[in-house]
Amino acid sequence: MSILGEVTVAVSVVLGSTQVPIRQVLKMGRGAMIPLDCGTDDPSELHVNGIAVAHGRILLAGERMSFEVTAMLGQAG
């Protein structure tokens, strides 16, 4: 298993998505709000190397944010 300890993977959490014209992106400044196509209770997705592997929810504890896995996805994603 020690050989796997050196393997790097890209992990991201997808909260939602939207389409924004580039002109609007260029006008954005710090604190800009971007509306997403999801609600606060909708599940987020955990992606590993660009592939959805789990659903879950975002948890906040003070200033710390974490992701709780609620369901693993099959190979179909």
Closest CA to 49 of 20, 12, 21: 12
pTM of this prediction?
0.71
Can you say whether residue 39 is alpha, beta or left, with left for phi > 0 and alpha for psi between -120 and 50 degrees?
beta
> Which residues fall within 8 angstroms of residue 47, CB to CB, at 6 or more apart?
10, 11, 12, 13, 14, 53
Q: What does the pLDDT profile of the chain (77 residues) look like in tens digits? A: 678 888 999 999 999 999 999 999 999 999 999 999 988 788 999 999 999 999 999 998 999 999 999 999 986 55
- For the chain, list the strands marked E by DSSP: 11-14, 44-48, 51-61, 64-72
